[in-house]
Amino acid sequence: MNAPARPPHAAPPLSEPTVLMKDGWHCLHLYYKIQQRPLNLMTEAERSAAAAEACAILDPNRPGAPARLLTSVVAGHKADLCVLAMDFDPLKLEAIRHALRTSALGPALEPVYSYVSITEVSEYVPTVEQYGERLKAEGTDPASPAFAVKLKTYEEREVQMRKQRLFPEFPAWPVLCFYPMNKIRDPHANWYTLPYSSRMEMMTEHGKSGMKFGGKVMQVITASTGLDDWEWGVTLWGREPAYIKEIVYTMRFDEASANYGAFGPFYLSYILSPAEAMRHLRVVSS
């Protein structure tokens, strides 16, 4: 007996429930302070063993490691150690946190901040069709060879931009900065009551400001609406510390930030291998 046909306007069947990301990665930022008293209770051999265990947990090349795993040492008193991890599976990221908590070094690691988010492609990244309309608005003749070349170039670049936003490659640069942010809902400047065209125009201006820092700063914006206390997390890699200051200062003059941006705490850190971080933080002497 044949199964009854589905009604013509029935909704498609739902996918199987899952915690895995299908188009992007989960992202977890962890920040710790080193507590000296637990370290003082250990012998030198115990401290070396504890550091070695932590280094194994934080080794990005170990079997079962997240797709991206990075350690850095934090400037200032807010924290000492930063761990940044990304993967399809959020439980793989959480496993890092619990492995550190239950390790021999765990008593000396005080969690002081964390941020939960996912990678995304912003709604303000133009589609190929939207980019074509922008070219027309700028006066490029859609029948001209220049229009076709520009559109084809953008189409190829859009594929790479999408990949980098969803599955980012981390550059081999030494400086890392993280901060969360919102778009404000002030009665006189509410981002969410603006028409899409106005928001798109402002974000286009914002993006052009950021592109001036190509080769100096790399940015990954992760989404956290409904996942953490802020709406986005911004992670910046810099060739030099001054570039971080320059890009944040420059982009704050854009209307999208000047009128509609709200920013959380900034965490600046310097990227080191786990073993280098253990030595820098004086967990081990050598």
Can you give the pLDDT at residue 122?
86
**Coil, strand or helix: which one is 36?**
helix
Per-residue pLDDT tens over the stretch 213-244: 999 999 999 999 999 999 999 999 999 999 99
- Beta pairing partners, 233: 180, 222
The catalytic position among 179, 243, 260, 267 is: 179
Please say whether the structural domain 166-270 has been given the CATH code 3.30.70.1030.
yes
Can you give the pLDDT at residue 15?
81
E-only strand ranges, the chain: 26-34, 68-74, 81-87, 109-119, 175-183, 185-186, 189-190, 217-223, 232-238, 261-263, 267-271
DSSP-assigned letters across all residues of 48-107: HHHHHHHHHHT-TTSTT--SEEEEEEESSSS-SEEEEEEES-HHHHHHHHHHHHTSTTGG
Q: Which of the four pLDDT bands, split at 50, 70 and 90, describes residue 139?
A: confident
Class of domain 26-119+272-280: alpha beta
DSSP-derived secondary structure letter, 170 = P
Can you give the pLDDT at residue 252?
93
Q: Which of the four pLDDT bands, split at 50, 70 and 90, describes residue 190?
A: very high
Q: What is the mean pLDDT of residues 176-197?
A: 94
Q: Report residue 60: phi and psi, to 5°.
A: -70, -15
Per-residue pLDDT tens over the stretch 258-278: 999 999 999 999 999 999 999
Between 52 and 207, where is the model more confident?
52
Q: How many CA atoms lie within 13 A of 150 on its CB side?
A: 18
Mean pLDDT of the chain: 92
Residue 76 CB coordination number (10 Å):
10
Q: Report residue 74: phi and psi, to 5°.
A: -90, 140
Per-residue pLDDT tens over the stretch 41-83: 999 999 999 999 999 999 999 999 999 999 999 999 999 999 9
Q: Percentage of the chain with pLDDT > 70?
A: 97
Q: Judge whether 124 counts as a catalytic residue.
A: no
**Coil, strand or helix: which one is 13?**
coil
Cα separation, 143 vs 149, in Å, equals 11
Q: What is the mean pLDDT of residues 125-154?
A: 78
**Domain-by-domain residue ranges, the chain?**
26-119+272-280, 166-270
Q: What is the CA radius of gyration of the chain?
A: 23
pTM: 0.89
Can you give the pLDDT at residue 9?
67
What length does the chain have?
286
Cβ atoms 86, 26 nearer than 8 A: yes
